Amino acid sequence: MHIHFKDITKSYDGKIVLDRVNLLIDSGSESRDVLLRGASGIGKTTLLRIIAGLESPDGGSIEISMGEAARGGSSLKVGMVFQEDRLLEQLSAVANVSLVDTSVSEQRAREALGEILPPEALDRPVRELSGGMKRRVAIVRALLPPSDILVMDEPFTGLDPDTRDRVIGYIMRSKGRRPLIIASHEVEGLPKMRELILEQNQL
Amino acid sequence: MKKIGIILLWLLVWQLLSMVIHNSILLAGPVESVGALWQMILTREYWHAILFSLIRIIGGFFFGSVLGMILAWGSYRASLLEDFLKPFISVLKAVPVASFVIILLIWAGNKMLSFYISSLVVLPLLYINTLNGLRATDKKILEMAEVFRIPMFRRVRYIYIPSVYPYLYSAFQTSLGMAWKSGVAAEVIGQPIGSMGNGLYQSKIYLETAELFAWTITIVAFSFIAEKLFLKVAGICFNQKE
């Protein structure tokens, strides 16, 4: 699968956030995973939101697979970790994960969460969990359902170095051959991947 | 305990006042009213009247509530429907209930009058509250649901209902009482034979103040029981705590 973001442009209230950004993602290639870096407010989140189909670019195009064109990437099934956790606070960690896709059984959700969360945290309402635990629930939720691409916006916020390393291990094991685009200030512990730096609104 | 004490105190004030006035047409006391109520309870007509009004008022309440919620969902999804409904909802809110009672009496007769009136009173309240609740749903959570393509049924159950329920709860609390008041008022005006409103009217004609109070006690009691029962059931159905 190829995803080609061609000359993507995006601006808000006349202020250019992304200026002719080009990005090619090939799921068959060894360099399919991308680490997106850049100063805060430079447009990393905007680019991830365009990839997830949450926003449409003002200009440029997104080509998916065999030249099938879609503006906004809405035909892609995306597994996403948002900058905020965006969990349903009244539900348990297991329910939050199994809720998003009918193919994810409670048992699978429990097993996956058990890899990076203590067992006593699985059935408690998410509002009772710590920030770091919530982050891990959000990561499992992004990884478990079938998807074409994984997008993670600052996924390691609130994690101590040991937990972060465990979570990175879990991500790399669970993602399979799905391309991973990760925007993170924290690069320690991450395996070698294609690094792209967003500067002056360009990659 | 304190609550019961206050109620007893007010009953005592009522009794003393009625003894001072010493005219059961002007003010029947609580003892006299309870006596009249006891006499009514023993008759078949009393229970028939309760059943008659209960079915229509509660039925109207359900119909108005469900329609209000469906229309609110439609307006939430399509702003054109909201624009279309705006004048209708404004009219329902502004026009006095008595005007609707008279119009409906001419159009549809008096048999189902309390059903129509309680529906019309409940509908705008449920519509506005449901719409406000839907609009208050966390946009970020909805975005998450969009990205993960969570099926609509699950979105409704796990995202929309928890957001809308507090709004629904307060709407139900207000509208149930209003449905009773307006429903009985419609029956008093429309005079369907064998209704609670008809019972109230008959008491007025024959200056039976004790009986009038007995009917009022009955209406307040049934309204109270219906409200408590319904809110409990609604909490269970929507899987929410009161």
Q: Is the dihedral of CA B66, B72, B78, B81 positive or negative?
A: positive
Phi, psi of A35 (to 5 degrees): -105, 120
The answer to whether A91 contacts chain B (CB < 8 Å) is yes
CA distance A115 to A109: 10
Q: Assess if residue B61 is contained within a domain.
A: yes
pLDDT at B240: 64
In a domain, B230, yes or no: yes
Residue B133 placed within a domain: yes
List the domain range (segments joined by +) for residue B138.
Answer: 44-237
Give the span between the Cα atoms of A44 and A51, in whole angstroms: 11
Output the pLDDT for position A196: 85
Residue A105 CB partners (closer than 8 Å, separation 6+): A98
ipTM: 0.89
Which CATH number goes with the domain that contains B166? 1.10.3720.10
The two structure tokens encoding residue A201: 């609104």
Domain total for chain B? 1
Using the predicted structure, report yes or no on whether residue A62 has a pLDDT greater than 60.
yes
Average pLDDT per block of 10 residues along chain B, 242 residues long: 90 90 85 90 92 94 96 96 95 91 90 94 96 96 94 93 92 92 92 88 83 90 91 82 52
Nearest to A202 by CA among A4, A46, A31: A46
A140-177 pLDDT tens trace:
999 999 998 999 999 998 899 999 999 999 999 999 88
B163 close to B122: Cβ distance less than 8 angstroms = no
Which residues, in sequence order, are CB contacts of A121 under 8 Å at separation 6+?
A93, A113, A129, A133
Alpha carbon of A72: minimum distance to chain B alpha carbons (Å)? 12
Q: Is residue B22 part of a domain?
A: no
Q: Indicate the residue of A84, A90, A100 with minimum beta-carbon distance to B148.
A: A100
Phi–psi pair at A15, nearest 5 degrees: -95, 120
Q: Is A101 on the interface with B (CB under 8 A)?
A: yes
Instruction: Determine the distance in angstroms separating the CA of A78 from the nearest CA of chain B, rounded to an integer.
Output: 6
Per-residue model confidence (pLDDT) at position A184: 86
B132 is a domain residue: yes
Q: Residue B218 forms beta bridges with which residues? A: none
Q: What is the pLDDT of residues B188-228, one digit of tens each?
A: 998 888 899 888 888 888 778 888 899 999 999 999 999 89
Measured between beta carbons, the chain B residues lying within 8 angstroms of A99 are: 150, 154, 158
Residue A10 β-bridge partners? A18
Q: Verify whether the Cβ–Cβ distance B143 to A99 is below 8 Å.
A: no
Residue B55: inside a domain: yes
Q: Which of A172, A133, A166 is nearest to A152 (CA)?
A: A172
Q: Is B200 domain-assigned?
A: yes
Residues of B in contact with A52 (CB under 8 A): 147
- A80: which chain B residues are within 8 Å (Cβ-Cβ)? 144, 147-148
Chain B CA closest to residue A92:
B158
The identity of residue A198, as a single letter, is: L
What pLDDT was estimated at residue A110? Answer: 94
Pairing of strands A68-69, A59-64: antiparallel
**What pTM value is reported for the model?**
0.83
Q: Please name every residue paired with A3 in a beta bridge, in sequence order, or none if there are none.
A: A25, A64
- Classify residue B212: in a domain, yes or no: yes
The average confidence (pLDDT) of chain B is: 91
pLDDT digit string, tens, across residues A5-39: 888 898 888 888 888 888 888 877 777 889 988 88
